[in-house]
Amino acid sequence: MKNLFYIVLSLVLISCLGVSSIVDANETLNVGIMSAHGMSDSAQYVAEQFNKKYGDKIEVKVTPIGFELLLDKMLVDFSTGSNLFDVYSVGYHWIGQVGQYLADLEKVKSEYPEIVDPNYNEEDFPKILWETYATYKGKQIGLPFVDGTLTLFYRTDLFENPEYKKAFKEEYGYELKMPKLGDDPLTYQQLYDYAEFFTKGVKWSDGKQYGIALPAAAGDPLLSTFCCFFGDYRRSPEGIKEFGKVDPDYGDYFTEDHKVAFDPKISDFGLKALKDYLELGKFSPSPETLDWITTSEPFSSGLAAMMIGWGGYWPSITAVGSKVHNKVAVSLIPMPHLGGWNVAINDNSDKKKWAYMYMQMLTSKDMNKTLYKEFTETPTRISTMMDKELQKDNPDLWVMAPSLKRVSTRPKMAVLSKLEHSMGVILSKAWTGGLSPEEALQRTADEWNRIVKMAGY
């Protein structure tokens, strides 16, 4: 019996040696990428290409990480100097929280001039994307990887239906029309009228019908979508006069001198925006439940005539199995909101040279086109967005460049998570009826001021 025990013990110890994870027997470049939107697929594809070229010296390994867990993982990794991953895909609004831990790319480039691709062509990125994704506090800390703008999706079969067009003209006095390439964006009034019309004005569905699926779930959806409404006022001529220019590191929610811009005490634009949001939400299945995924559900199953969501959802909404396959097009909302991701290097990494080479390959001109074609990876390069061939094949591409002309952004601040959290807790009470819109907005603004002050901004 005792012998058996010792045999088992030794087996255990041997397998312990054998199967414990091996650290860097062969040089490995660890890349952690968000697991959705085809991002990890793209990273994987590029990794394979990269390994073909440099596989004898280094192997790139891509690990997909879920959205909910990515920021947490990054923070722990960075702050403990663990170097779990050399390269991360970083949502730009998190840059405030992790910016100090991202490697300065200018330094890397000057240290290894031979790896810099002369054809990389930084100007090919829209200036707003370069400014938002790639820079922070004057340093270059990332390369733009995936663009994301809040876009309007709508049902072509409903909006191009001649009967409905006639009925709409009769009731509202102007044409039922969605902006196409070259047109101006919708106005808020149009959006509201369209939503009202398709909720109450005409019966187009056998079951329940809604004019729009509008996200307002606490967290990211609320923060981003409200910014569409507030940003519209913020970047209007009156808004600029009232609040000053938008500081890229602080986003649309703050004034030029870094106060909370939607604070009712400073101006009533905030309340106006909130009321617009709430009014539009009346034509949507309960917005406070709709996050990015659950917004596309009512739309894809044919319950809503329009929806606001990230452009990157196009493939899933129009997939062959979807009920609205072939019946969807995109258009411009009055003020789109910018999301999106860069790729950045962990400052603790000892393989910054390889990391930069990988990231360069991932975001190069040709690769941007390839990734868009293969994985519908929303492109960050102007050359891809304006490519006539691609625009012909992909009905959702045309809206990407125009969306960037006038777009709202989030705060790139270290306390962003807290701000998002408190807005989620307080402001969403305006939907659930816990607070009046005025109160909800005032309290949110006060909370934001308090958080920002406590952080020493």
Partner 1 sequence: MSGLKRNYSKNNYSKNINIAKTVFIGIPLLSIILLIIYPTYFFIKIMLSRFDLSFMREPVFIGLTNFINIFSDIYFWNSVFNTFIIVVFAVLIEFALGLCLALLLGKIFFGGRIIKSLFIIPMMLPPIVAGLNFKLIFDTFGPINEFLKIFGIDPINWLGNPFWARTSVIIADVWQWTPFIFIILLAGLQSIPEELNEAAKVDGASGFNLFRFITWPLLVPSATVALAIRAIDAVKIFDVPFLLTAGGPGGATEVLSLYIYRATFRFGTMGYGAAMASIMLIGLSLLAVLIIKIINLSNRMGWD
Partner 2 sequence: MLRKINAISTLKLIVCLLFVLFFMFPIYWLILTSLKLPSDITGSPLVWFTKNITLDNYKLLFGYTGELWGEQEYVGRSFLPIITPYLVNSIFIGVFSSLIALLLGGFLAFGVNQFNFGGSGLYKWLLSLRMLPPIVVAVPMFLIFRSLSMINNRWSLIIVYLLINVPFATLLLIGFIKDIPKEISEAASIEGCNNFGIFFKIILPLLKPIMVAVFIISFIMCWNELLIANVLTASEAAQTFPVFTANFAQVERGTAWGSAAAGGVIGSLPILLSCMYIQKYLVSGLTAGTIK
| Given 124, 147, 193, 288, the residue binding partner 1 (CB under 8 A) | 288
417-428 burial: b if 16+ Cβ within 10 Å, else e: bbbbbbbbebbb
Q: Taking CB under 8 A as the rule, does residue 106 contact partner 1?
A: no
- State in angstroms the smallest separation of the CB of 261 from partner 2: 30
What character string, x for contact with partner 2 (CB under 8 A) and - otherwise, covers 282-311?
Answer: ----------xx--xx--xx-x--------
Q: Pick from 67, 111, 181, 405: which binds partner 2 (CB under 8 A)?
A: 67
Cα separation, 78 vs 313, whole angstroms: 30
Q: Which three-class secondary structure state does DSSP give residue 32? A: strand
Which partner, partner 1, partner 2, none, binds residue 418 by CB below 5 to 8 Å per kind?
Answer: partner 1
β-bridge mates for residue 89, sequence order: 343
Contact pick of 21, 57, 114, 118 for partner 2 (by CB under 8 A): 21
User: H/E element holding 68?
Assistant: helix 67-79
Q: Which residues pair with 309 in a beta bridge?
A: 151
Task: Give the count of residues interacting with partner 1 (CB under 8 A).
Answer: 40
- Out of 230, 277, 313, 431, point to the residue binding partner 2 (CB under 8 A): 313
What count of other Cβ atoms lies within 10 Å of the Cβ of residue 265? 12
Binder among 51, 75, 84, 438 for partner 2 (CB under 8 A): 84
Say if strands 210-213 and 304-310 run parallel, antiparallel, or are unpaired: parallel
Q: Which is nearer to partner 1, 189 or 286 (CB)?
A: 286
Closer of 13 and 115 to partner 2 (Cβ): 13
- Closest C-alpha among 449, 120, 22 to residue 258: 449
Three-state secondary structure call for residue 202: coil
Please state, in angstroms and rounded to a whole number, the distance separating the CA atoms of residues 212 and 256. 33
**Separation in Å, CA 290 to CA 29, 173, 204, 257, 283:** 37, 32, 22, 33, 13
The burial class, CB within 10 Å (0-12 / 13-18 / 19+), for 413 is buried
Nearer CB in complex with partner 2: 225/296? 296
Is 35 an interacting residue with respect to partner 1 (CB under 8 A)? no
Over the range 152-168, which residues count as b (16 or more CB within 10 Å of their CB) and which as e?
bbbbeebbebeebeeeb
The angle formed by the CA atoms of residues 325, 177 and 270, to the nearest 5 degrees, is 95
The window from 68-76, 224-232, 307-315, 353-361 that contacts partner 1 (CB under 8 A) reads 68-76
Q: Does 98 bind partner 1 (CB under 8 A)?
A: yes
Buried/exposed code over 364-385 (b: 16+ C-beta within 10 A; e: otherwise): bbebbbbbbbebbbbbbbbebb
Of 30-49, which residues contact partner 2 (CB under 8 A)?
30, 32, 35-38, 40-41
CA separation for the pair 356, 360 (Å, rounded) = 6
Of 335-394, which residues contact partner 2 (CB under 8 A)? 375-376
Interface with partner 2: number of residues (CB under 8 A): 52
One residue of 49, 51, 100, 316 binding partner 2 per CB under 8 A: 316
Judged by CB under 8 A, which stretch of 69-77, 121-129, 181-189, 335-343 contacts partner 1?
69-77
Q: How far apart are CA 85 and CA 78, in angstroms?
A: 9
Region from 32-40, 92-100, 103-111, 252-260 binding partner 1, contact rule CB under 8 A: 92-100
As a whole number of Å, the end-to-end CA separation of the chain is 68
Name the residue nearer to partner 1 (CB basis): 197 or 448.
Answer: 448
CB 228 within 8 A of CB 335: yes
Smallest separation (angstroms) from partner 2 to the CB of 305: 16
Residue span binding partner 1 (CB under 8 A) among the ranges 39-47, 75-83, 127-135, 363-371: 75-83
Closer to partner 1 by CB, 249 or 288: give it.
288
| Cα–Cα distance measured from residue 65 to residue 169, given in angstroms and rounded to the nearest whole number | 49
The least CB distance from residue 429 to partner 1, in Å, is 5
The only residue of 7, 9, 81, 374 in contact with partner 1, by rule CB under 8 A = 81
Of 27, 72, 111, 256, the one binding partner 1 (CB under 8 A) is 72
Determine phi and psi for 176, rounding to 5 degrees: -85, 105
Report in angstroms how near the CB of residue 367 gets to partner 1 at its nearest.
32
Q: List b or e across 95-111, with b for residues whose CB sees 16 or more CB atoms inside 10 angstroms.
A: bbbbbebbbebeebeee
- Comparing CB distances to partner 1, the nearer of 279 and 297 is 297
Please report, as ranges, the residues that interact with partner 2 according to CB under 8 A.
1-2, 5, 12, 16, 19-21, 23, 30, 32, 35-38, 40-41, 61, 63-69, 73, 76-77, 80, 82, 84-85, 207, 292-293, 296-297, 300-301, 303, 312-313, 315-317, 319-323, 375-376
- Contact positions toward partner 1, by CB under 8 A? 1-2, 68, 71-72, 75-76, 78-79, 81, 96-98, 100, 217-219, 285-286, 288-290, 297, 301, 414-415, 417-418, 421-422, 424-429, 431-432, 434, 455
